[in-house]
Structure 1
Amino acid sequence: MTDQTEFPDNDDIHAAELVLGLASDDDRTAGRRRMATDPTFAAHVVFWQERLAAMADSIDPVAPPARLKQRMLAQVFPAKRVSILERVWLWQGISVAALLFAGYLGVQLLTINTQPNQQPAVLAAQLVSDTGPLQVLAVIEPVSHEIALRRIAGEARADRSLELWAILPGQAPISLGVLPDSETARILVPAALRSQAAQFTLAITDEPLGGSPTGGPTGDVLAAGPMTTL
């Protein structure tokens, strides 16, 4: 540790005041600037930090109130506004084709959201299979409550239909409709299910033409995936 007697009196006093929090706002700002350019003055500050740190050893730590902690974190790390488009594009683990579709959908969502201060939650799922080629990207639009789907790979089997299901914890699958042969589709989420959309696991099954005749899945599950909040 540097000997205190090596320091000029004024610099030593200013450094001590800075460490103790006794300096005025202007002096504190000037002192921090000087620390960045004056190694000698920075050594003064380090000397007093080391010398005074021992005074706190006998003080029991006190957890700050949650509100104070959140306020401090917000000041030090201000939240960056992230647009819907950015949230969709930054979703990890999906193919390039899926990203292109997600980027397009993000633009559509931006045009729908007429209040720029709102940040609606965007839910997305990538429906995949470990055994088959089918891969579908699904994004729930927060305003229209529609599921926008794009088939990235795979297709329905000959003379069969692809049917989309919503699965909630502890409940039987609920049919959301038969998917068209086209690569893209839009399906409205039933009003009774919208508040639970974040808990969905979406699944696509192989069904007879026109869909399941029983109201429940009858064929193989070709792809599935849980909803993720972007």
Structure 2
Amino acid sequence: MSEAPELPSDEALAAEHAIGLLSAAERAQAERRMAVDPGFAAHVAAWEARLAPLLEEIDPVAPPVSVWPRIEARLAANDDTAMLRKRISFWRGAAAGSLGLAAASVAVAVMLATRPPTLIAPPEPAPLLNASLKGDAGITPLFVAAYDPDRKALIITSLVPPGSDPVHVHQLWLIPADGKPRSLGMVEPGRSRAMPMPGDMAPMIAEGATLAVSVEAPGGSTNPDGPTGPIAAKGALAKI
């Protein structure tokens, strides 16, 4: 039987942790390192993912009643020298017949050692939302908006010609599922504006929520609970 290729020290330690070959002190040290070293933690996770299918292929076998007494009798002999011998024998390979089921698992782990770690696909980005804000006639949008849930930023563009109503301002409102308007700020005619959403506001900007623009006196609505002036345009957010 040919010897398995040697692994880099970090990979070897990660595999030993995943298989359970470390002593209690070594395991505690490895887990402390996992908490501060993302690269090493990724190695351990990759080894656990590689070895997990083995558990599904092995039928459970009840051990003889004499096993536990024999293990308890030998616990005192589990010193560092014995652990070192155990780890050396693991990396050099073991005869399947001599170590039984444990050796079979180890042999498969050695064969997998040269394979690259399984890459975990990143999560899918949240879908973008957009809205066309139209007046009562509902023909041509007066404002268009887009929201990026990952960046928590809303971009609103006014299609109203600049200077068309110099004595009023346009105020943007979010009307989420609870029906209570929240002011998002002013929108200048003919301009675009990016609006980062605060943490408490971002969850409210969801599919089906309404964006509305009211016509207000300079300075905006004096009503803290909603618009003072009439609604010029509104539209619901939908997935792009």
Tell me if TM exceeds 0.5. no
Taking structure 1 as the reference length, the TM-score comes to 0.45
Taking structure 2 as the reference length, the TM-score comes to 0.43
